[in-house]
Amino acid sequence: MKNRGFSPFRFLTYLLVIGAYAALQVLQARSELSATMRGMLVPICAYVVMAVSLNLTVGVLGELSLGHAGFMSVGAFLGTSTAIALQDRIPVAGVRLAVALVVAAIFAAVAGFLIGIPVLRLNGDYLAIVTLAFGEIIKAIFNNLYLGVDAKGVHVSLLEDATNTAETGRLIIQGPMGIGGIQKISTFTAGFVLIMISLIVIFNLVNSRAGRAIMAIRDNPIAAQSVGVNVVKYKMMAFVVSAALAGSAGALFAMNYSTVVANKFDFNTSILILVFVVLGGLGNMFGSIVAAAVLTILPEALRPIAEYRMLLYAVLLILMMLIANHPFVRGLFNRFKRTGQIQLEAGADETEGEVA
């Protein structure tokens, strides 16, 4: 079951995240980070969580999802709305952020569950296209959704602003204008904690009985079914967990900017996240994290060459994909993996123990 090599990378992945966080905190404290870098810390955290959560669907469950930004959108809008609605009730920003992230995760999980009911009965290309459509539907809904909060409660309307929100209240989601005037309460530390939680959730799920069932479905659904694995249940489990994590990543992302619009979470964003996953390696969380961070920073690092930067970005992307897939490089990776596995299996049996 360890054919994708999570286990050897597992502790190194934690180590990488903690190490990077510590290093960046030190740099920040010594004010050696540029404004560009400081501004990108939270988005990188959000994209990393998006990448590892999509990796759960694509890499571990083995189903291609092209609508992951839809869950990000659900989390971004509903999590941010929660934070705004609670602005007076919970004055402490950190607590408000935590509540918003949890609410975002819950809503995205519910959305994931509802979508999952029809979608997970499909597979392969069909599933991919339905998730794509789902992403577009979410975008269209939030483009036409009006949500206001006042003393009488929450008002919702579609297409037209018929919420009749009282003057004293606040119209939070304003259709195509999205949400404006968001307080920036997302912090790098919150992003770091969210990444750690995502990794713990995903690694524990993958190394559990349920995780092995999920991977069995990926490797051969018919065989898995024949030995009594409930295919829909385990598919749903992976899908909902993935959606929930994406939702909280969306909320984290949205609350780093003063404004958010539904068009931000379009097909392109879904594909961008899929690129992180594919470049990092299917099922490889370590790779997803590195790929998400590098590919978020790359366009900014290329800013000095102005107009040519997106061209060069595309060329670099193609090169990275080719190199990562080159037989020589793959062979090298596999050798590392094998030797690492042997070493770890010899030395780390107690930590590596099954969580089931």
Give the separation between CA 136 and CA 244, rounded to whole angstroms: 19
Q: Which is nearer to other proteins, 36 or 220 (CB)?
A: 36
Q: Give one DSSP letter per residue of 59-128, joined into a string.
A: IIS----S-HHHHHHHHHHHHHHHHHHTTTT---HHHHHHHHHHHHHHHHHHHHHHHHHHHTTS-THHHH
> For 153, which DSSP code?
E
User: Contact between 94 and other proteins (CB under 8 A)?
Assistant: no
User: Contact between 12 and other proteins (CB under 8 A)?
Assistant: yes
CA-wise closest residue to 227 among 239, 240, 212, 206:
212
* Residue choice 4, 7, 43, 277 for contact with other proteins (CB under 8 A): 43
* CA atoms in the 13 A half-sphere facing the CB of 181: 8
Q: Which is nearer to other proteins, 164 or 339 (CB)?
A: 339
User: Contact between 324 and other proteins (CB under 8 A)?
Assistant: no
User: Contact between 31 and other proteins (CB under 8 A)?
Assistant: no
Stretch that binds other proteins, among 12-20, 64-72, 117-125, 345-353 (CB under 8 A): 12-20
User: Contact between 298 and other proteins (CB under 8 A)?
Assistant: yes
One-letter amino acid identity for 135? Answer: G
For residue 131, the surrounding DSSP H or E stretch is helix 125-143
Rg of the chain's alpha carbons, rounded to an integer? 21
Beta bridge partners of 153: 150
User: Contact between 257 and other proteins (CB under 8 A)?
Assistant: yes
User: Contact between 181 and other proteins (CB under 8 A)?
Assistant: yes
Q: How far is the CB of 81 from other proteins (least distance, A)?
A: 16
> For 171, phi and psi rounded to 5 degrees?
-80, 110
User: Contact between 261 and other proteins (CB under 8 A)?
Assistant: yes
Stretch that binds other proteins, among 126-134, 190-198, 222-230, 295-303 (CB under 8 A): 295-303
Q: Which residues bind other proteins (CB under 8 A)?
A: 8, 12, 16, 19-20, 23-24, 32-40, 43, 143-144, 175-178, 180-181, 184, 257-264, 286, 290, 293-294, 297-301, 303-307, 310, 333, 335-337, 339-340, 343
